[in-house]
Amino acid sequence: MAYKVVILPKTQMRLERYIAYTKDVLKNPTAAKNIAMDARNTKKRLATIAPTLALCTDEELASLGYRTIHFLFHVF
């Protein structure tokens, strides 16, 4: 069963900042592309393994059943 994956606006903005920083400040477009790909792959993976993950630490989100996952290849 596939689950609907929701990327919260704050999280999406943070991801976009990481990608922009990597590309524009660190001058590493390849790494920026890899971060974006890792994010997409993580989102796809989350859609299938969601029930096995821990609930969010935010009480409100946890009460709604939101889960948390970390990127496979990048740590922020």
How high is the pLDDT of residue 30?
97
Torsion of CA 35, 60, 64, 11, to 10 degrees: -10
pLDDT at 76 over 60: no
65: left (phi over 0), alpha (psi -120 to 50) or beta: left
pTM exceeding 0.95: no
The tens digit of pLDDT for each residue in 45-65 reads 888 888 888 898 999 999 998
How high is the pLDDT of residue 7?
86
Helix axes 29-49, 9-20, angle to 10 degrees: 150
Query: What is the DSSP secondary-structure string of 16-70?
Result: HHHHHIIIIIS--HHHHHHHHHHHHHHHHHHHHHGGGSPBPSSHHHHHTT-B---
The tens digit of pLDDT for each residue in 5-33 reads 888 899 899 999 999 999 999 999 999 99
